[in-house]
Amino acid sequence: MNRKRLRKLVGKTGFGLLLSAIMLFTVFPFYYAILTSFKSGSELFKVDYWITTFNLENYQSVLGQSSFVSSIWNSILVSTSAVAIAMGFGLTAAYALGRVHFRGRGTVLMIVLGVSMFPQVAVLSGLFEVIRAFDLYNDPLSLVFSYTIFTLPFTVWVLTTFMRQLPKELEEAAIVDGASPVVTLFKVFIPLMGPAMATTGLLAFIAAWNEFLFALTFTLTDDQRTVPVAIALITGGSQHELPWGHLMAASVVVTVPLVVLVLIFQRRIVSGLTAGAVKG
Amino acid sequence: MACVELKKINKTFGNIEIIQSVDLRVEDGEFVVFVGPSGCGKSTLLRLIAGLEEPTAGDIEIAGEVVTDLSPKERGVGMVFQSYALYPHMSVYENIAFGLKLDKANKGKVREWVEKTAEILQLTSLLQRKPRELSGGQRQRVAIGRAMAREPQIMLFDEPLSNLDASLRVQMRTEIAKLHDRLQSTMIYVTHDQVEAMTLADKIVVLNGGHIEQIGTPFELYETPASLFVAGFIGSPKMNLIPAIVKATSPGKSVDVEICGMGTVTVERDASHMDDGTEMTVGLRPEHTRLSLSGPDSGLEVVNVEYLGNEAYVYLEMPGMNELVVVRESVPCQIRAGQRVTLNADPERLHVFDADGHSLPRVGLRKEEDSVQQIASH
C-alpha cells in the first residue's frame, strides 16, 4: 500500500520535473530575448535571469527605421496572402481528392506529397528563373507565389484527410436537399472544417512568416524585405559590432503576433465540432 | 405524391450483383416497406430510387416519367438517413430550411414552411437549438422534418429507427404512421425489423440476395408466404419448418404428407407436380398448434418452457431436426420440461413448400378468402 503510494508520488514528481525541463528548454530562449531587448550598452553582456532594467530604447530605434516597419507589413501581406491562396486551392482540391471518386486520385495525392519533399535549395534556381520571367523579382508577390507552392502540398494533404473523415451521409443529405458540390463544400463542409483550417492555416502562416531562403533570394532592396531577412541584416556601427539589443527587440516584435495568433486559434483547434451530426 | 415504378433494375458493384432485375410498382400514397436480412440490397434499392446510386441497368419512373438520369432533387424525393445526418453547425430551423433556401424560395415562405413542418413534428420549441443539444428522438424528428419540408413527392426512410432505443422506437413508429396518414404521401421505408414492417406497411417487399421474394400486404405475407424464406423471415418467433415426405397426391385436390414426428396429414394443396416420396417442408406457426400430454412412450419431448407473462413458449425436440420446434401456449401453462406431448395442428393452418422452397398453391381458395376475411375483421 505504502509502496504503491510512494511509486505514485515519485512518478508524479518525475513527470513534473520532465515537464519543467521541457518548458525551460522551449521558453527560455524567448524569455532571454525579451530580457535582452530591454537592455542597452554594456548591460547587454551581463547575465541576468530577471528583468533588472526596463528600457524601451531598442524598440524605439528598431520601429523608427522605416525599412523595418515596411518589412513587417511585407511579412503580414506575404503570409496572409499565401495562407489565403493556399486555403482556397487547398479546400477545393481537398473536396475533389477527399469526396469525389475518380481514376488516379491516389496518384495525384502521392504526387502532391512528393512535391512537398523537394528541398527548397533544389528548386531555388529554377524558381528564380520563373520569378524573373514573371517579372516579380524584388517584389513581395514573388514570395506569395513561392510560399503558396510550398505550403499547398501540406495544406492539401491535411485538409483531404479531414475532409475524408466527414460522414458520407452528410454529403448525401445535402445532395438530396438539392445542394450543388460548391454549395455542399461552402455551406456544409467548410463550417465543419474549422479546426482543420485553423491548424493548417496557422502552420502555413508560421512557415511563411519564418521563411528565410526565398525571402533573401527573391528580394533585393530593404523596403521589399520580409522580417526574417530584415532582422538578419540588421547591422551595428562597425563590422565587428552586433547590435544585440536591436536584434532582440526586433525578434520580440515579430514573434508576438505569432504568439497572439496561436492563442486566438488554439480554441478553434478543438475537435468535437462535428458532434451531433450523426449518432453521438 | 406520385407512384414509383422500377423496371428491370440491376445494380452491380464490381463483380458483385447487389440488385438482380427488380420490377416493382409503388402506388401513389402507399406506404411500402423493404425488408430483408442485412446485405439483401434493400438499402441499395432505396438509394437507387433516391438517386444517390445509379442503376447498372433498368429504368426508374416517378409519376410516369423516367427519372433514371435525374438528381435526387429533380426527382422530388426527401430522405431520412439512418444516422440522421443533420448539419451539426446549423440550428434545427436552418437544418429544415436548408433545402428550401436552395430552392430560392423567398424568406417569408421559408419561414412559413419551416414553422408548419415544425408544428407537425412538435419541434417548434426546439427551432433554435443545435443538433448536439437534442436527444436521439428529437434528432430523428428533425431529420424527418428536413426531408418533408420541401414537400417531396416521395419520402424515403433508410432504417430511421435503428439508432433509437426500444421504447422510443415504438413511439416514433406510431408517429411515422400518423405522419403518413396526415401527409398521404408516398413513403418507402427500409428496415430489417419485421415488427416495423408489419405495423407500418401497406405493402411489404421482402428482399433476399438482391431479388424480390414476395410482395404483399402484411396479412398476405403472414398468412400465405410464397416461399420458405418469407415463411421463415416473417413472424416471431419463427415459423417451424419441419421436413416431410409426400405420401399420396390427388392432383388438383389434396396431398397426403407424412410429417416428421406428427404422422400423416392431408392438406388441400395442389401437389400434382410432385411424385410420391419426394421430400418437402411443412411450415407451422408457433401460434397455430395445440399440445396435449401423451404417454411416456409416444409424442415429443419438451426441452424447455419459456414463461413470458402473457404467453409461454414450449420447445420440443423433433427427431431428425436440428432446430427445436417452438409452440406458443397460453398461460398458465401446465406443460413442464421433460414431459412428452403430442403436437396437433389444423391442416388448414399448415404451410407446404416443395423441395425448391416454393409454396404449394392452395386448392380451396374461396374458403381461404372467407377465413381471411373473418380473421381480418377480428
Q: Range with the lowest mean pLDDT among A24-28, A144-148, A157-161, A264-268?
A: A264-268
Q: Which among B82, B88, B147 has CB closest to A275? A: B88
Radius of gyration of chain B (CA): 25
DSSP-based three-state secondary structure for B196? helix
- Cβ within 8 Å, pair B52-A192: no
Parts of chain B with a pLDDT under 70: 1, 364-378
Does the structure show a pLDDT above 60 at A271? Answer: no
Q: Can you give the pLDDT at residue A237?
A: 65
- How is residue B266 written as a grid cell? 392431408
- CATH class, B4-227 region: alpha beta
* Contact present, A68 and A224 (Cβ < 8 Å): no
Distance from CA of B130 to the nearest CA of A (A): 8
- Cβ within 8 Å, pair A173-B87: yes
Q: Can you give the pLDDT at residue A63?
A: 86
Query: pLDDT per residue over A233-257, tens digit each?
Result: 887 766 677 788 888 888 888 888 8
Does the structure show a pLDDT above 60 at A149? Answer: yes
- Between CA B153 and CA B26 the distance in angstroms is 12
Chain A residue numbers with beta carbons less than 8 Å from the beta carbon of B79 are 172-173, 176
* Contact present, B358 and B261 (Cβ < 8 Å): no
pLDDT band at A1 (very low <50, low <70, confident <90, very high): low
Chain A residue numbers with beta carbons less than 8 Å from the beta carbon of B86 are 173, 276-277
Domain A65-233 adopts which CATH fold? MetI-like fold (1.10.3720)
Q: Can you give the pLDDT at residue A66?
A: 85
Query: pLDDT per residue over A158-185, tens digit each?
Result: 899 888 888 888 999 999 998 899 999 9
Chain B residue numbers with beta carbons less than 8 Å from the beta carbon of A183 are 102
Chain A residue numbers with beta carbons less than 8 Å from the beta carbon of B73 are 175-178
Which chain A residue lies closest to B52 (C-alpha atoms)? A172
- Cβ within 8 Å, pair B89-A278: no
- Between CA B33 and CA B207 the distance in angstroms is 10
Tell me what the pLDDT averaged over chain A comes to.
86
Does the structure show a pLDDT above 80 at A279? Answer: no
Q: Can you give the pLDDT at residue B377?
A: 40
- Cβ within 8 Å, pair B102-A183: yes
Residue owning grid cell 511509486: A7
Distance from CA of B89 to the nearest CA of A (A): 7
Q: Is the peptide bond before B55 cis (omega within 30 degrees of 0)?
A: no
ipTM score of the complex? 0.80
Chain A residue numbers with beta carbons less than 8 Å from the beta carbon of B81 are 169, 172-173
Q: Which among A175, A176, A277 has CB closest to B86? A: A277
Q: How many helices (H) and strands (E) does chain B have?
A: 10, 20
Distance from CA of A280 to the nearest CA of B (A): 8
Closest by CA to B101, choosing from A244, A218, A174, is A174
Q: Can you give the pLDDT at residue B193?
A: 87
Q: Judging by DSSP bridges, how do beta strands B77-80 and B279-284 pair with one another?
A: unpaired
Domain regions of chain B by residue span: 4-227, 237-362
Chain A residue numbers with beta carbons less than 8 Å from the beta carbon of B71 are 175, 178
Closest by CA to B197, choosing from B235, B226, B165, B156, is B235
Does B342 contact chain A (CB < 8 Å)? no
Does B87 contact chain A (CB < 8 Å)? yes
Does B101 contact chain A (CB < 8 Å)? no
Q: Which among B82, B85, B102 has CB closest to A277? A: B85
Q: Can you give the pLDDT at residue A162?
A: 87
Question: From chain A, which residues contact B within 8 Å (Cβ)?
Answer: 167, 169-170, 172-179, 183, 187-188, 191-192, 273-280
Does the structure show a pLDDT above 50 at A80? Answer: yes
β-partners of residue B257 are B246, B265
* Contact present, B355 and B266 (Cβ < 8 Å): no
B325-330, strands of its sheet edge to edge: B289-293, B340-345, B300-307, B311-317, B325-330
- Cβ within 8 Å, pair B102-A177: yes
Which chain A residue lies closest to B133 (C-alpha atoms)? A276
Which chain A residue lies closest to B130 (C-alpha atoms)? A276
Q: Can you give the pLDDT at residue A268?
A: 66
- Between CA B73 and CA B83 the distance in angstroms is 20
A-B Cβ pairs (cutoff 8 Å, strict): 82
Closest by CA to A169, choosing from A277, A250, A274, is A277
* Architecture in CATH of B237-362: Beta Barrel (2.40)
Does B105 contact chain A (CB < 8 Å)? no
- Cβ within 8 Å, pair B82-A169: yes
Mutate to test the interface with B, among A168, A176, A182, A278 (most CBs of B within 10 A): A176
Chain A residue numbers with beta carbons less than 8 Å from the beta carbon of B134 are 276
Chain B residue numbers with beta carbons less than 8 Å from the beta carbon of A187 are 98
Which chain A residue lies closest to B150 (C-alpha atoms)? A177
Cα A121 vs. chain centroid, distance in angstroms?
20
Does B134 contact chain A (CB < 8 Å)? yes
Does B147 contact chain A (CB < 8 Å)? yes
DSSP for chain A?
A: -HHHHHHHHHHHHHHHHHHHHHHHHHHHHHHHHHHHHT--GGGGGS--SS------HHHHHHHH-HHHHHHHHHHHHHHHHHHHHHHHHHHHHHHHHHH---TTHHHHHHHHHHHTTS-HHHHHHHHHHHHHHTT-TTSHHHHHHHHHHHHHHHHHHHHHHHHHHS-HHHHHHHHHTT--HHHIIIIIIHHHTHHHHHHHHHHHHHHHHH--HHHHHH--SGGG--HHHHHHT---SSTT---HHHHHHHHHHHHHHHHHHHHHHHTTS---TTTTSS--
Neighbour count for residue B135 (Cβ, 10 Å): 11
Query: pLDDT per residue over A11-24, tens digit each?
Result: 999 999 999 999 99
Q: Can you give the pLDDT at residue A79?
A: 94
Q: Can you give the pLDDT at residue A2?
A: 82
Q: Can you give the pLDDT at residue A83?
A: 94
Q: Can you give the pLDDT at residue A234?
A: 82
- Cβ within 8 Å, pair B130-A276: yes
Q: Can you give the pLDDT at residue B235?
A: 85
Residue B311 has phi, psi (to 5 degrees) of -160, 170
How far is the CA of B318 from the CAs of B242, B261, B279, B293, in angstroms?
A: 9, 6, 17, 15
- Cβ within 8 Å, pair A276-B134: yes
List the 31-70 stretch of B: residues with Cβ below 8 A of A: 50, 52
Q: Which among A175, A178, A275 has CB closest to B103? A: A178
